[in-house]
Amino acid sequence: MPPSSLRGRTVPGTDGIELKLGYRAPFSWDRLIRYLAYRAIPGVEAVENGCYIRSFRLGGAMGTLTISHDPARHGLRALVRCEGPVPIRQIGARLRRLFDLDADPLAIHQALARHEALAPWLDDAEGLRIPGAFDGFELAVRAVLGQQVSVRGMVTLSARLAERCGARLPETLTQDSVARLFPTPAEVAAADLSSMGLTGARAATLKRLAEAAMADPALFAPRADLPATIAALKALPGIGDWTANYIALRAVGEPDAFPAGDLALRKAFGAGGDPLPEREVALRAEGLRPWRGYAAMLIWQSDPARRVKTEIRETENAPD
């Protein structure tokens, strides 16, 4: 990415700086932000008027980001409003990961189309992207909170956590409904997590996750290969195979991460019949390497009317 693509410009009347971030077309913006909207943590992020809005904290800077789609220019526009030095390169890199802007959508689509189990899902999926994470720790916390509950349950618990131990933004930086920062590892480690609706085991897992993130700033960075990344995540107490793959896919940016035991995937690979065994799903997905994560996201993002009849929750098979 050339340096010029990360230069910001002051936007009159906004007290902000605008970044322009390009991508390779096609890009399914509506599909991606629907996924983010359903999982948005109240107070921390929102999808409003076709834009994704969130708070952020990087080093000494904190503020809000408002991201909109500019399809005519094959890019996104990010309006940055913050206190402190504007970390343009860091913000740009994190947004590229969050919106999967470096993907090659045509190559991915062609690879998925070769698998007969996925063909019915592909007719409205041009420009498929994997929603990543602006902050790896935040995504990992959400994955833990989503273990064995619905997506809405995960959102509720995440909002409670942010309310309990996340700092408020200065009033001059609040953006519509976004007024709070997601808590840092140090804030979670120091917080009283009782009376939040968490089991004792889940609260302990969050504490240990926060301590691990404090001890290893590169905890959510890629390892030598995907198995090494999964192994490092599963070494954390309370993180099983499903959660490790989900974190690897969205927080670490591993496009081949694939939680084969997920109920939605087991049903989809079974062509709407009985769920296949996890081992059979993993075997059938081998031909999708190195894009298995896109197959998972294709199924998770698909229109509810075309999903299998029973409600699928991407967190349903998450381990304790």
Query: Given this model, what pLDDT does residue 29 score?
Result: 98
Query: Given this model, what pLDDT does residue 209 score?
Result: 97
Are 202 and 179 in contact by the 8 Å Cβ rule? The answer is: no
Query: Given this model, what pLDDT does residue 312 score?
Result: 34
Query: Given this model, what pLDDT does residue 121 score?
Result: 86
pTM above 0.85?
yes
Are 269 and 276 in contact by the 8 Å Cβ rule? The answer is: yes
| Residues annotated as part of the active site | 262
Query: Given this model, what pLDDT does residue 84 score?
Result: 85
- Coil, strand or helix: which one is 175? strand
The chain-wide mean pLDDT, for the chain, equals 90
What are 119-125's contacts with CB under 8 Å, separation 24+?
120/306, 121/268, 121/298, 121/299, 121/302, 121/306, 122/298, 124/303, 125/28, 125/31, 125/298, 125/301, 125/302
Instruction: For 226-245, write each residue's pLDDT tens digit.
Output: 999 999 999 999 999 999 99
Q: What domains can be seen in the chain, in order of their start residue?
A: 3-102 (3.30.310.20)
Q: What distance, in Å, lies between the first and last C-alpha atoms of the chain? A: 40
Query: Given this model, what pLDDT does residue 304 score?
Result: 53
* Three-state secondary structure of 257-318: CCCCCCHHHHHHCCCCCCCCCHHHHHHHCHHHCCCHHHHHHHHHHCCHHHCCCCCCCCCCCC
Rounded Cα distance, 279 and 261, in Å: 8
DSSP annotation of 2 reads -
- 244 versus 270: which is more confidently predicted? 244
Instruction: For 65-120, write each residue's pLDDT tens digit.
Output: 999 999 999 999 999 999 888 899 999 999 999 999 999 999 999 999 999 889 88
Phi, psi for residue 111 in degrees, rounded to 5: -65, -45
Instruction: For 161-211, write each residue's pLDDT tens digit.
Output: 999 999 999 999 998 899 999 999 999 999 999 999 999 999 999 999 999
